[in-house]
Amino acid sequence: MSFSRLAGIAGMGFVVILIVANLLLTMAGFPTPSEAASLDEITAVFAAGSGSLRLASALLPVAWLLATIFAVGVCVCVRRDERTRTDPWSLVGLAGVLMQSVVFTSVEATRLALISAAQHDSGSVAGLWGLYSALFGFNQVFLATALLGLSMLGIRTGAIARWHAGTGLLAATLLFVTATTSPYGVGSVNPLALLGLVGWLLWLVWIGAYGVILIRRAPEQSVPTGTPDTSAASAHT
């Protein structure tokens, strides 16, 4: 299997895992930073829904691995010519994907800590929820960075259509605006949180479309290792 196809499958797998994880949390009644929930409600749901949260969290290491493979695949496989130097926008996009994985690790760790706090020390729930909300909000700037870099790379190389790049840039704008206003969501609800949700949904569509492009790219045929190059030999006969 070519790396381009592997990266495309990884991107689509990343989307599937995120959808499954969020469905698990939604069905368990977990609030999001965009919802108005009292401290008592937050404490109750984290105390009662630890099983769903642990299962959703257990899926995320695979998602972060797949996201990295996808991002590297985009950076490597959409260049016009393998001999050309690396496009700076590809580095911007790759950095965004890596940073969102790092920061969301902290988001998920804080959410898991809320389980212990809700069950054993409810007095610390408010502080942990505030930390979780802040990390969740600021993490959106790295999603925006990934969307910006890889959309610009795709449009500059002709690998993606204008609607695809436009979707990525629109999602990046929405996520960046929400990240910028995220401090106003700590202790309350960010008034622009729904823009971030729309941006996140567009991010999933954008990744899925990029995955299809990578899968469809025809890999160049290469001479297997250890196989003699008959073309060179025939040139001398």
Res 206 pLDDT > 50: yes
Q: What is the C-alpha to C-alpha distance for residues 167 and 177, in angstroms, rounded to an integer?
A: 16
Res 218 pLDDT > 60: no
159 φ, ψ (degrees, to nearest 5): -80, -25
pLDDT computed for residue 48 by the predictor: 86
Res 221 pLDDT > 90: no
Average pLDDT over residues 65-81: 87
pLDDT band at 22; cut points 50, 70, 90 = very high
Res 232 pLDDT > 70: no
Nearest to 68, CA basis, from 45, 26, 102 = 102
16 or 191, which is more confident: 16
Reduced to 3 states (helix: H, G, I; strand: E, B; else coil), residue 227 is coil
pLDDT computed for residue 229 by the predictor: 45
Question: Quick one: 35 exposed, middle or buried, by C-beta within 10 A (0-12, 13-18, 19+)?
Answer: exposed
Q: What is the C-alpha to C-alpha distance for residues 101 and 146, in angstroms, rounded to an integer?
A: 11
Maximum separation of any 2 CA atoms in the chain, in Å: 85
pTM comes to: 0.86
* Lowest pLDDT segment from 95-99, 141-145, 190-194: 190-194
pLDDT computed for residue 69 by the predictor: 96
pLDDT computed for residue 39 by the predictor: 85
Residues 94, 145 contacting (CB under 8 angstroms): no
Average pLDDT over residues 93-122: 92
40 or 231, which is more confident: 40
Nearest to 113, CA basis, from 72, 53, 153, 189 = 53
Q: Which two tokens stand for residue 60?
A: 């995320």
**DSSP state string for 16-82:** HHHHHHHHHHHHTT---TTS---HHHHHHHHHH-HHHHHHHHHHHHHHHHHHHHHHHHHHHHS-S-T
Distant-in-sequence, close-in-space partners of 226: CB < 8 Å, separation ≥ 6: none
Average pLDDT over residues 47-75: 93
pLDDT band at 203; cut points 50, 70, 90 = very high
66 or 126, which is more confident: 66
Average pLDDT over residues 191-206: 91
Mean pLDDT (the chain) is: 86
Q: What is the C-alpha to C-alpha distance for residues 129 and 112, in angstroms, rounded to an integer?
A: 11
Nearest to 199, CA basis, from 150, 134, 140 = 140
What dihedral do alpha carbons 99, 203, 63, 131 form, nearest 10°?
A: 50
* Lowest pLDDT segment from 19-23, 158-162, 192-196: 192-196
pLDDT computed for residue 219 by the predictor: 58
Q: What is the C-alpha to C-alpha distance for residues 182 and 131, in angstroms, rounded to an integer?
A: 11
Res 77 pLDDT > 90: no
